[in-house]
Amino acid sequence: MFYGEYEHTIDNKGRLIIPSKFRESFKEYDITKLYITRGLDKCLFVFTENEWKTQESKFKSISFTKSEARKFNRLYFSGASQLEFDRQGRILIPKYLKDFAGIKRDCMMIGVSNRIEVWSKDIWQGYYNSSKDSFEEIAEKLMTRQDEE
């Protein structure tokens, strides 16, 4: 549903414009609410309401008697915030999430199929540059594992 990478800036009020391609998907699938939370690798995860419920259900099924599960759920859900976008297609990202992801002004919005990731532009460029050369090797390992299952 969400694909591509888009460079944007956060305005002085902390608002970020959702790329038009993503907004087209919102209209197509009648999406009015989004959820944002701490992601992995110093980015933010943005989910549609339906996908958020799917993720929430998965994480709630992990036994809370396990220390790592409690820790993960606390950090993941305490960072969550419901978002609505305005008529210009902007969302307001909470300061604590911008701080977590190291986002000051320039950022990247990355479509990762069922979610959108929001990255500091500098952190994304570092991540991309350090990962791109191993793309084929990673693909081969993942596909080999999948074929074996």
pLDDT in the model for residue 87: 87
- Report all structural domains of the chain as residue ranges with CATH numbers, in order of start: 2-148 (3.40.1550.20)
pTM for the whole structure: 0.91
Helices within the chain (DSSP H only): 20-28, 49-60, 67-78, 95-101, 121-131, 135-148
- SS3 (DSSP) at 116: strand
Which of 111, 85, 103 has its CA nearest to residue 42?
103
pLDDT tens digits for 52-69? 999 999 988 888 898 998
| Mean pLDDT (whole number) for 20-42 | 94
| Mean pLDDT (whole number) for 75-86 | 93
Judged against a pLDDT cut of 90, whether residue 5 lies above it is answered with yes
- SS3 (DSSP) at 14: coil
The total number of residues written for the chain in this structure? 149
Which of 9, 2, 1, 42 has its CA nearest to residue 108?
9
| Mean pLDDT (whole number) for 99-121 | 97
Give the list of residues 6+ apart from residue 56 with CB closer than 8 angstroms, or none: 77
